[in-house]
Amino acid sequence: MSSSFQPAEVSGKRLAALALAALGVVYGDIGTSPLYAMKEVFAGNHPIPVNEANIFGSLSLFFWALIIIVSVKYVTFIMRADNRGEGGIMALIALALHEAEGKPRQMKAIMIIGILGAAMFYGDGMVTPAISVLSAVEGLEVAAPGLHSFVIPITLIVLFVLFFVQKHGTALVGTAFGPVMLVWFSTLALLGVHNIVDHPQILAALNPLYGIEFLFANKAMALMAMGNVVLAVTGAEALYADMGHFGRKPISRAWFGFVLPALILNYFGQGALILGDPEAASNPFFNSAPEWLLYPLIGLATLATVIASQAVISGAFSVTKQAMQLGFVPRMEVQYTSEKEQGQIYLPAVNWGLMLAVMILVLGFRSSNNLAAAYGIAVTGDMVITSLLATVVVARSWKWGWAKASALFACFLAVELIFLAANIMKIPDGGWFPLVAGVAVFILMTTWKRGRQLVADRLKGERLELSMFLESLASSMPTRVAGTSVFLNADPKGVPHALLHNLMHNKVMHERVVLVSVQFFDVPYVPDIDRVEVRKLKENFWSVIVQYGFKDDPNIPRDLELCADSGLEFSQLETSYFIGRETLIPRVGSELAFWREKLFVAMFRNANPVTAYFKIPSNRVVELGTQVVL
């Protein structure tokens, strides 16, 4: 959606309502980190000794990571780098590419870095539902150790139900997200206060000197701890990614006014508990609750983690759709689950692929401790890439210059690169999974982008200039038949291959021929007033350019109705759509490696048909094939 929810336009009750809604969508991931982050430091696969210095030092690192990475980097700076109100990795790639326009090397570097960031996002998206739901259900082991054998089956059932209901949309469930997360964060704060009261000296850990001293006194151990501290800031990307839904002001108000205080109180409460009872470090979150509250807390935690997972799944749908529009992934089936909200979409291929990956993770790693090792590296990689792309945008778009922009983001990168180094040490323990997943997605995306460029180049080499073709028609006009033919045309100045094939085989042409070119722009939405550009050509030919943003819903028949204002009216019953269908033939010695050619051909064959993607009625379509040697 456009930037209609920008700060200047939001106030009073509307601001409060948006802030509440943001609690349910934006803060699920970072809000469920207290379930496992502190536990990982003192009871994970690489625990540090439980003593006063380590408790104060690690707590100080938790606090300052939330301040530096989330409050300063994302809320204060990154969220100002919006693309007409929209945020997220794809919006940032589009902004950075726009600033590097006309500089091929810079554009290529930005594209590679951006695709890598998107690939890391998918790696993160696989681990988040697995670790979140599993860590909540593990609370049963604290309440009743005999229930240990039920943890994995219950987790798998919860995850299956979560993915199964995606096709029905999240509108109804979404109305409850905000209130549930309001209860969740309130509970986090109350649990924290409950334990801080017993050991108020823990608040001294707000002093950054404790964290600095901890880092310098225990270099190897501190680096390992930093790999777990990063778990406290997982989900920070969601603040930026979901900005288009709520606007910057409601998200920042919710963060500073409610979410950040609740998280700090809970982490410090867990630290106070461990200070008084080192044995509680085995699961400080659930051990911090009174015994009578355990089962309700497990239920609430499971709900909160389902909401956190829902946000990640919805984010994967949204990013995939944007990547489709920008040409990074093949066309896929997109279902709209709400008649009112354009952003509520469902992609079956992404949904079931993600579910399979998440369930494999749960069955393979079997505990949140093991999964924590797989979690951090994708998150930190994504953060580093966001900082690099944002440096370009701040230097160019904000007119800060390279020196100021680099100095600012060097401060964030210094922290993030320490996080990344710490998480690289976890690769043997599970950090390899998101890396492998990320590399796989990166190969698929770059192969698709390069392959499409190769196909376009091959077709361009056989191109016939439209102006020359129209001149030739004047001297030898084929038989014209009643009706309108619409040809999709990638190149507005060339003749569509389907038109040439139709003339070659059928020897006729409709009395009115419309050449439709679709262009996608690096903006979220294109308003209806700018949707179509219509130009009348010779011999009753028309050129129509249909323009979309990367979050628009492409619909050719609907948008061709907008041509009526320019004198081009359509009767759907008298209109035939001619589509070119390419058959790709890989060859050795092409610009792509042969194995990548084969991969691209497989992706091309399995892409959603162009007719479905552009909502063209199948009973009005004529397909004409052509072979393309790569």
Q: Give per-residue pLDDT as tens, 386-432.
A: 999 999 889 888 889 899 999 999 999 999 998 888 888 888 888 88
* Cα–Cα distance measured from residue 476 to residue 567, given in angstroms and rounded to the nearest whole number: 27
State the CB neighbour count (10 A cutoff) for residue 157. Answer: 12
Provide the token pair at 16: 């409060």
Q: Tokens 């017993």 — which residue?
A: 198
Q: Which residues contact 431 (CB under 8 A, 6 or more apart)?
A: 373, 374, 376, 377, 423, 424
Distances (CA, A) of 299 to 31, 132, 303, 359, 368: 15, 13, 6, 21, 17
Nearest to 233 by CA among 92, 124, 370, 376: 376
Q: Give percent of the chain with pLDDT exceeding 70.
A: 96
Task: Taking residues 67-88, report their average pLDDT.
Answer: 87
Q: Is the pLDDT of residue 562 over 50?
A: yes
Confidence bin at 289 (pLDDT 50/70/90): very high
pLDDT in tens, 599-611: 999 998 888 888 8
Query: In the prediction, which pLDDT does 509 show?
Result: 92
Q: Is the pLDDT of residue 354 over 80?
A: yes
Highest mean pLDDT among 91-100, 235-244, 370-379, 570-579: 570-579
Confidence bin at 317 (pLDDT 50/70/90): confident
Provide the token pair at 84: 């007409």
The model's pTM is 0.82
Instruction: Mark 462-500 as b/e (b = at least 16 C-beta within 10 Å).
Output: eeeebeebeeebeeeeeeeeeebbbbbbbeeebbbbbbb
Q: Is the pLDDT of residue 172 over 80?
A: no
pLDDT in tens, 498-547: 898 888 888 889 999 999 999 988 777 889 899 999 999 988 999 999 99
* Cα–Cα distance measured from residue 238 to residue 243, given in angstroms and rounded to the nearest whole number: 8
Please work out, in degrees rounded to the nearest 5, the angle formed at the alpha carbon of residue 307 by the alpha carbons of 441 and 195: 115
Cβ distance 293 to 218 under 8 Å?
no
- 508-521 and 541-549: which strand pairing? parallel
Provide the token pair at 556: 């050719």
Report CA Rg, the chain.
27
Nearest to 28 by CA among 226, 338, 259, 337: 259
Distances (CA, A) of 313 to 164, 363, 471, 478, 533: 12, 19, 53, 53, 36
Burial (CB count within 10 angstroms: exposed 0-12, middle 13-18, buried 19+), residue 461: exposed
3-state SS string for 314-371: HHHHHHHHHHHHCCCCCCCCCEECCCCCCCCEECHHHHHHHHHHHHHHHHHHCCHHHH
Query: In the prediction, which pLDDT does 1 show?
Result: 32
Q: Cα(first)–Cα(last) distance of the chain, in Å?
A: 38
Cβ distance 347 to 321 under 8 Å?
yes
Confidence bin at 9 (pLDDT 50/70/90): very low
Confidence bin at 173 (pLDDT 50/70/90): low
CA 268 to chain centre: 31
* Cα–Cα distance measured from residue 527 to residue 29, given in angstroms and rounded to the nearest whole number: 33
Q: Which residues contact 108 (CB under 8 A, 6 or more apart)?
A: none
Query: In the prediction, which pLDDT does 99 show?
Result: 78
Q: Give percent of the chain with pLDDT exceeding 90.
A: 40
Let me know how long the chain is: 630
* Cα–Cα distance measured from residue 300 to residue 311, given in angstroms and rounded to the nearest whole number: 17
Distances (CA, A) of 328 to 90, 112, 324, 443: 10, 11, 6, 11
Query: In the prediction, which pLDDT does 11 show?
Result: 54
* Cα–Cα distance measured from residue 156 to residue 359, given in angstroms and rounded to the nearest whole number: 7
Q: Please, what are the domains in the chain?
A: 20-429 (1.20.1740.10), 458-629 (no CATH)
* Cα–Cα distance measured from residue 117 to residue 122, given in angstroms and rounded to the nearest whole number: 9
Amino acid identity, position 195: N
Strand (E) or helix (H) holding 544? strand 541-549
Query: In the prediction, which pLDDT does 2 show?
Result: 33
